[in-house]
Amino acid sequence: MKLLKEVEDMVFDTQNVYGEEMEVSEPIVMASAAGWYVGAVCKGEYGIEPFDRYSEYHETSELAQKILASELFDPEWYHPSSKIVPDTIST
């Protein structure tokens, strides 16, 4: 897992996840073997772990950053199958 933002610079929020309190980050640009995406990490038992993915995968971090910076981005409703794609977002 790659993170575009340093963990020390992330804002974490305590969330109730299936009855367990977890520290979950703000939406950030991150990468897995599948590509770059907008997602969140959590402070798990063994350190920082992936928590959720809010966008589709992209070839570059710049494309994922464009999604995150968009005024249309909202992690509450954004889903990888949504119709918002980087080519339709102006910067």
Instruction: Kindly report, residue by residue over 35-44, the tens digit of the pLDDT.
Output: 999 999 999 9
pTM of the model: 0.81
- Percent of the chain scoring above 70 in pLDDT: 84
**Residue 62 belongs to what H/E stretch?**
helix 61-69
Rg of the chain over Cα atoms, rounded to whole angstroms, equals 13
- Joined together, the tokens standing for residue 71 give 């005024």
Q: Each residue of 61-82: pLDDT tens digit?
A: 999 999 999 887 877 765 544 5
**Residue 17 belongs to what H/E stretch?**
strand 12-17
Q: How many CA atoms lie within 13 A of 27 on its CB side?
A: 20
Distance from C-alpha of 54 to C-alpha of 41, rounded to nearest angstrom: 11
